[in-house]
Each structure stands twice: as structure tokens, then as C-alpha cells.
Amino acid sequence: MKGVLKLASLLAATVAALPAVNPVKESSTILSPRQAACNGPATEDGKFFYPDMDRGESARGKAPFQGDDGYAIYKNVVNDFGAVSDGTGDQSQAFQNAILDQGRQDHGPIFKQPRSIFIPGGTYQLQNPIYVALDTILFGDPNNPPVLKAGPGFTGDTLVSAGSGDSSQSTTAFNIGLKNLVLDTTAIAGDQQFKALFWGIAQGCFTENLKINMPTGGSQHVGIDIASGSTISVADVSITGGGTGITNNNQQVMFKNLKCSQSTTCYNGAGGYIAVLQSPVFDSCGTGARTSGQQVVIIDATSTNSGEVINGSGGAQIVLENISHDSTNPVAIMDGNPVLSQAHTNTWVWGQAVPGGYQTGTETSNPRPTSIAPDGKYYIEAAPSYANIPASSVINVKAVADHPVLGDGSKDTDDGPALNAILQQAADECKVAYFPFGVYNVKDTVVVPPNSRIIGEGWATIIGSGDNFKDASNPRPIVRVGDEGSSGVAHIQDMRFTVGEVLPGAIIVQINMAGAPGDVAIWNSEITIGGDAASSVTTQCNQQDTTECKAAFLGLHLSASSSAYIDNVWVWTADHDVDSTPDAGLQIISTGRGVLVEATKGTWLVGIGSEHHWLYNLNYVRAENVYSALQQTESPYMQGAGAVLTLPAPWDEVNADYGDLDWSWCDGGDQRCRTNVAQNFEGGKDLFVYGGANWAFFDGEWNGDYGASCDGNCQTNMNRVGADPTNLQAYSMNVKSADNVFLDSKNTDTSTQTYGGSWGGIIDAYRVFSA
């Protein structure tokens, strides 16, 4: 009894410390210490800036590659389409028109034709499903989130449907976002099969402050049905009722801050390979999570008045860490047997461990540095909603009199100097910098100074071009967050950063700034190379020999002085054109490096995708104090046996300053060995890694045939540990089509022949270098 009481007060403290789902609370509890640093931005109660921004002809967002100067990115579903918010009628056609007017297609382009649809507060009754097209954000007023409510006469079984159930389509269903919305199915009988949201999606998609209300008491409803596909993150979702909160068949997903109340089952890992649930809350649920074969990692869970935290079967490999559970029901049931009974803080593993072999529920203590887990839990934060910041506290970068900015995507335009002046002004005045959609061409580095808050409209894009970014021996950032050693706030969300041409010396985004946890952060943003209508890379890089297509030096650089929180960021070297670009052929692009982490003061990667980069997708070089959860990677399609170039070519100069690899562990002509490394760990200390989703699909030349996967495995090694780290803890490392999960200095056997499962191989606990 004593123990239970103690737990109860602990739980209360835990709930209070979670990022508040209510945005009003969020700005008062999280923003105020930061405001002190810059006396702003000024707030007003209940006032949300977005609908009040200047949308005059020169100030509004424009899509320069869309082909119609009158094309509107921003739409208000009430003002522009006559939706009625009093809970009557059928508003589905108004929503559908807002999504599809001006010639938009359901599965259309993803970078050149964005649409941001604002939904004022109120209740919108729907009698038919809404289909959400690609490159679309639906968002409500965070002070008064709109309710999309299924009417009692609803036709169909899905309230909102995004992406596709067909895996050949769902893996290319990019760029769909939902924020500040409530989906409500309570008017539909609980014994009817019904879904609030179908989510058949890939990278670039996000949820933010999404609430789902379903009938309670054993209903059949599903909150989110995540189909096959390849997304990165589903975050900040709060679910009430339903038979299942979330059912998930996606390849890999990071679930951050999922909360279920009174759901029969909160999470069902029905298919796919790996899911990480960070800080889930199961309140009065029958079952927290179940899986019938998917690998599941649950970290920092709070289970109150609920059944088991996990019910696993079908060979699922499980990691539990720091689980609060206040009922007498078991914490874990595996194959029908209760195997863990009490709340605990240790790391519990059910699955293949190296060293140690197959574990059936062993525990180890895994202390966390306070730099990444200040109150014991790994730090998380929701993207700021700026709920109470009026338009007067926001600078529209296209509406600053002295600093004209075009965002017209032209290589002749240089928006850089004006953007630098505007960002400095926004920081000085403590205002939010709002980027209406545009393609902002810059010819030199854009600097994001301390006290910056940046929000894009529909993935507004900063695109680098010109000679400043062409010298691979002297790489230069297109966007640089702070100087070496600077500290302060830099919050960036809903932006895209890219290259307008082949730029072998471009570091697309570099972060140097540090601060308290969450001070320096990027949410729901993209770093892309090629594949879009805005870049000449898309039309030029179609030769098997990529020597002339070293399109960027590095995607994202977290430098040694930085401390950054990176949440749902997709770093993509394109493998195909997604904008129906005229004259786009195959995309055969060699981006040198994906994500380089040299930071030591505290780094959080909370859902990161890094795909098709030539030398590595992720490289942790002498990094310390790193929390990394859900790393989705794909090797480049044109390496391995039969490739035209053998690594490191065409990046022949090994640059030690950037932790480059030299493949000295491979024979000179061994093409299967000389392939991209998904994740490289070079020395460092206190590296906590959960949920590797490291896949390879193709080898040899790339001819665009997605059906022609490599024969057997594509590559020898998927991940590598270089200079031995002090305390590397890696959990649920899943690989596809590689002989070895890791290559390390101890020649540890990590072969997928020994450690099969998942999509080819899994090591549930790799602790060769653990403390």
C-alpha cells in the first residue's frame, strides 16, 4: 500500500511535467522562462496570429513552380468555402473543395503545390469522409481547436482519410500535417466498425495537438489506422475511448507523447517492424500496448488504473524502460504468460541481446545523464503553437518594407541579405518570423540568431544556390543556426531546406547554438536534395556516374558546440521526382553525408529520417549525451555489387574535420563492403539509441525499377562502431538486406544469420560498449 501511495504522488508529478496538450498552458509554462531572455514575443489571451496575417498580393504565400500565379496556399474553410461550424448539415464537401480546388490531385506533387487550410473553432458535422491530398496541412486555432464530428447518418467507415492503403502508394504519400484538431466519432454507434483517421502515409507527415474522441465502454472504433507506408513520427495525440487508439502497420514509427484514456487497447502493433513509444500515458485502458510480431520499445510510460502495459506475441522483441504502473495487473505478458509484474525503472529486454543471446525479461540499470533527462525522463517538447501570439508579434518575412523578399525560386534572386536582416530584427524585437510559402533563393549563408522563432507555411523553402556553396574542400552552411559557442532560443518548424543546383560544398543546415533542453529545436521540417521542381539537380542528375552530381556536402550538422532537439525531421536525397518536373529523369544523386552529430552537451533525435546519402546516413562523431529514437534510413540505391562507382568515390577526399569514413576495413574492390553506413558511432560517450530502422533495398546501377530488389543482401555492414565509445546503449536495431547489423572493433558476431527476425535482422540490445 505504501508503495502504491508513493507511486501515485510520483505519477501526479510526472503528468504535470509532461508538455501540456492544452496550448494555453504550454505557452505559460514553457515559454515564460524563455521570454525573459528577450522580453517577448508579446502575448494576448485567446488570440492566434495565423488568420490575421497580411495576405495582400505581395505578402501572401506563392508557389512559384505551380504554374498559376493566382494559386492560393492559405485557405479558410469557413470564409472561402462556406463551411458551417454549428454542428449541423454536412460540411464534408466544403472541406473537400478546400483541399482539392484549383486543380489539386489527391496523390499529386509534394513540394510545389502546398495547401494550408485553416479551420476556425466550432463543430463541423461531416456525413461523408474527407480525403486529404499530399502537400496539405489542416490546422485549427490552438485556443479553440475545431471539432470534426461524424454525423449520425455518416456514409462510410472513416472520418478523415490521408494517403493510401496500397503500399506502392502509401510509401510515396509524403507531406500531410494535422494540427490543433479534434476528431469526434461519438455520434456513431460503438458497435459499428469506424475509424477517426486513416493514415496511409510516408515521410514528411505529422500530427501535432490532435485529439480523438470515440465512444467508451468497449466500442469497436479505431482512433488512427496507420496502414503500410514509411512515416517517421506520430506525435502529441490524445485519445479517449475506442476499441483501439492506434493500430499500426507502418514500417517504422516514433510515437511521442501518445495519451489514451478509456481505450480498450491504446496501441496495437499489428504489422510493420519497429515502433518506439516515448512517454505514452495509458489511463484506465484495458491494455496499454499489444504487438503480434512488431518490435516495440516503450520508454518513460505512465500506466494508471490500466491492464498490462504490453501484451506481446508472434516473436515480437520488446524493450521496456522506466515504466510507472499502478495496478496489480502485470506490466508485461509474453505469449500469454505474465513475465513482469511491478513498476520499474530499469531496462527490460525480451529478445536478442549482444552479448548475452536471447533474453526473456532480464533487467539492467541504465542511468541517464541529467543533460538529456533533466527530471529523469528523456526530454520531449511539442512544437510551439504560438496560440496567444497576436499578428502584431509576428513578422511576415514578405512584408517588411525596408527588406523586400521575393520567395520566387529564381536563381537570379538573392533573398539572403534581406532574410538575414529580418531574422535579426525578429530576434531583437522578440517576434516570431513567419515564412509564407515560397522558395527563398539564397546565395550565401542565412543566419538564425539567438532568440529566433521561425514558422513556415506549408514547408516554406530556403534554397541555396551559387558559387559560395560549390567548394567541397571548404563547405559552407546554407542555413546556420547560431555561431560557434552561441546560446539562446532558436525554434524552427514547418520549413524545408534544400539545394537549387549541384552544390558539393553545401552544408544545408548547421546548428551551432546551445541552450537549456528544447531551446534550440526543429520540428516537422525537411532537408531535401533533388526530386523537386525547384532544383536543377532534378533534371541533371540522371547518369550512373555521379561524379558531376555531388549535390550537397552534408544535410544536417549538429556541431560540437550545439545542443539541439530534432523532432520529426526528414533528410532526403531524392530517389525519384515528386513534382512531375518536366525533363526529370532518374534521380541518381550523390549527397556526401546525411546527419553529422558532434555535439556533446545534449542532443535529442526524436524521430529522424535520413535516406540515400552516399557515405553515411547518420554519423555520431565523438558525440556525448545523445538520445536518439527511431532512426529511419535507406541506403543509396546505386551502391554495392555492380555499382558504377565504388566508395568512397566520388567523394574521394576523406575530410577528417567532418568525421569521414575511409572504408579501410574493406578490400579495395569489395563493393558489397564499400557501401553507405546507416549509423556510424565514432567514439563518444553516453549514447542512448532506440529503434534503428535501417533498410537497404537495391544494389548495382539504379534504373528506377522498384521491383528489382538486390539478390540476397545488398551490403555487408549496416551500422558501424569505430573508435570505441564509452557507454553506447543501442536497443531494437532492425536492419534489412545486410549481412551484419554492426561492424565493431571486437569483431562481435552481429550477423543477420545469427540474429534474424524483423525485416531481415534485429539486435534488441547491443551492449558491447555499455558502461
Ligand X SMILES: *[C@@H]1O[C@H](CO)[C@@H](O)[C@H](O)[C@H]1NC(C)=O
Nearest to 542 by CA among 530, 554, 528: 530
Give the nearer residue to ligand X in terms of CB position, either 723 or 771.
771
Residue 8-27 contact track with ligand X, rule CB under 6 A, x = bound: --x---x-------------
Q: Cis link prior to 650 (omega < 30° from 0)?
A: yes
Give the nearer residue to ligand X in terms of CB position, either 254 or 309.
309
d(CA 771, CA 767): 8
Work out how close the CB of 120 gets to ligand X at its nearest, in angstroms, rounded to a whole number.
38
Q: Are 215 and 237 spatial neighbours (Cβ–Cβ below 8 Å)?
A: no
Give the nearer residue to ligand X in terms of CB position, either 287 or 524.
287
Work out how close the CB of 68 gets to ligand X at its nearest, in angstroms, rounded to a whole number.
51
Work out how close the CB of 311 gets to ligand X at its nearest, in angstroms, rounded to a whole number.
4
Give the nearer residue to ligand X in terms of CB position, either 182 or 687.
687
31, 150, 333, 489: residue in contact with ligand X (rule CB under 6 A): 333
Work out how close the CB of 3 gets to ligand X at its nearest, in angstroms, rounded to a whole number.
14
Nearest to 691 by CA among 270, 278, 173: 278
Work out how close the CB of 320 gets to ligand X at its nearest, in angstroms, rounded to a whole number.
12
Work out how close the CB of 688 gets to ligand X at its nearest, in angstroms, rounded to a whole number.
11
Give the full edge-to-edge strand order of the sheet including 476-481.
Answer: 446-448, 476-481, 503-511, 552-558, 591-597, 616-621, 677-682, 715-721, 738-743
- For residue 307, CA distances in Å to 343, 585, 748 come to 13, 54, 39
Give the nearer residue to ligand X in terms of CB position, either 150 or 323.
323
What beta strand segments (E) does 465-516 contain? 476-481, 490-499, 503-511
Instruction: List the Cα angle 97/177/48 in 5-degree steps.
Output: 85
Work out how close the CB of 65 gets to ligand X at its nearest, in angstroms, rounded to a whole number.
48
Work out how close the CB of 227 gets to ligand X at its nearest, in angstroms, rounded to a whole number.
20
CA 90 to chain centre: 34
Contacts of ligand X in 449-478 (CB under 6 A): none
Nearest to 255 by CA among 511, 6, 607, 588: 607
Give the nearer residue to ligand X in terms of CB position, either 239 or 333.
333
Site membership for ligand X, residue 325 (CB under 6 A): no
If one counts every other C-beta atom within 10 angstroms of the C-beta of residue 721, the result is 26
Give the nearer residue to ligand X in terms of CB position, either 333 or 383.
333
Instruction: List the Cα angle 87/76/579 in 5-degree steps.
Output: 125
If one counts every other C-beta atom within 10 angstroms of the C-beta of residue 311, the result is 23
67, 376, 404, 756: residue in contact with ligand X (rule CB under 6 A): 376
Site membership for ligand X, residue 322 (CB under 6 A): yes
Give the nearer residue to ligand X in terms of CB position, either 284 or 754.
284
| Residue 490 CB contacts under 8 Å (≥ 6 apart), including other chains | 448, 449, 450, 451, 452, 453, 454, 481, 482, 511, 513, 515, 519, 520, 521
d(CA 21, CA 142): 10
Contacts of ligand X in 125-154 (CB under 6 A): none
62, 211, 368, 622: residue in contact with ligand X (rule CB under 6 A): 368
Nearest to 353 by CA among 362, 344, 345, 340: 362
Q: Are 495 and 462 spatial neighbours (Cβ–Cβ below 8 Å)?
A: yes
What spatial distance separates the first Cα and last Cα of the chain, rounded to whole Å?
A: 35
Site membership for ligand X, residue 75 (CB under 6 A): no
Q: Cis link prior to 114 (omega < 30° from 0)?
A: no
Work out how close the CB of 100 gets to ligand X at its nearest, in angstroms, rounded to a whole number.
40
If one counts every other C-beta atom within 10 angstroms of the C-beta of residue 78, the result is 21
Work out how close the CB of 327 gets to ligand X at its nearest, in angstroms, rounded to a whole number.
13
Looking at residue 382, the DSSP 8-state letter turns out to be P
Nearest to 611 by CA among 230, 208, 296, 254: 230
186, 345, 539, 544: residue in contact with ligand X (rule CB under 6 A): 345
H helix or E strand, kind and range, residue 130: strand 130-132
Work out how close the CB of 208 gets to ligand X at its nearest, in angstroms, rounded to a whole number.
24
CA 361 to chain centre: 30
Give the nearer residue to ligand X in terms of CB position, either 41 or 312.
312
91, 125, 324, 715: residue in contact with ligand X (rule CB under 6 A): 324
Give the nearer residue to ligand X in terms of CB position, either 308 or 579.
308
Which residue sits closest to ligand X, CB atoms considered?
376
Give the nearer residue to ligand X in terms of CB position, either 209 or 268.
268
Work out how close the CB of 447 gets to ligand X at its nearest, in angstroms, rounded to a whole number.
37
79, 313, 370, 745: residue in contact with ligand X (rule CB under 6 A): 313
d(CA 452, CA 489): 6
Residues 600, 601, 604, 608, CA torsion sign: negative
Give the nearer residue to ligand X in terms of CB position, either 18 or 30.
18
Give the nearer residue to ligand X in terms of CB position, either 321 or 660.
321
Work out how close the CB of 728 gets to ligand X at its nearest, in angstroms, rounded to a whole number.
17
Work out how close the CB of 380 gets to ligand X at its nearest, in angstroms, rounded to a whole number.
12
Give the nearer residue to ligand X in terms of CB position, either 371 or 528.
371
d(CA 712, CA 760): 10
Work out how close the CB of 324 gets to ligand X at its nearest, in angstroms, rounded to a whole number.
5
Total residues at the site for ligand X (CB under 6 A)?
14
Nearest to 437 by CA among 455, 458, 468, 419: 458
207, 213, 261, 311: residue in contact with ligand X (rule CB under 6 A): 311
- Burial annotation 525-545 (CB, 10 A radius, 16+ → b, else e): bbbbbbbbbbbebbbbbbeee
Q: Are 30 and 23 spatial neighbours (Cβ–Cβ below 8 Å)?
A: no
Work out how close the CB of 348 gets to ligand X at its nearest, in angstroms, rounded to a whole number.
12
Contacts of ligand X in 602-641 (CB under 6 A): none
Work out how close the CB of 271 gets to ligand X at its nearest, in angstroms, rounded to a whole number.
13
d(CA 7, CA 2): 9
Contacts of ligand X in 249-308 (CB under 6 A): 287, 290, 300
Give the nearer residue to ligand X in terms of CB position, either 91 or 729.
729
**Cell of residue 699, nine digits:** 544494389
Contacts of ligand X in 561-580 (CB under 6 A): none
Secondary structure of residue 106 in the 3-state scheme:
coil
What beta strand segments (E) does 241-336 contain? 244-248, 252-261, 265-269, 274-278, 281-283, 287-291, 295-304, 310-312, 318-325, 332-334
H helix or E strand, kind and range, residue 564: none
34, 104, 377, 453: residue in contact with ligand X (rule CB under 6 A): 377
Give the nearer residue to ligand X in terms of CB position, either 320 or 455.
320
Work out how close the CB of 335 gets to ligand X at its nearest, in angstroms, rounded to a whole number.
9
| Residue 709 CB contacts under 8 Å (≥ 6 apart), including other chains | 697, 698, 737
Q: Are 252 and 272 spatial neighbours (Cβ–Cβ below 8 Å)?
A: yes
Give the nearer residue to ligand X in terms of CB position, either 333 or 446.
333
Give the nearer residue to ligand X in terms of CB position, either 7 or 644.
7
Q: Which residues bind ligand X (CB under 6 A)?
A: 10, 14, 287, 290, 300, 311, 313, 322, 324, 333, 345, 368, 376-377
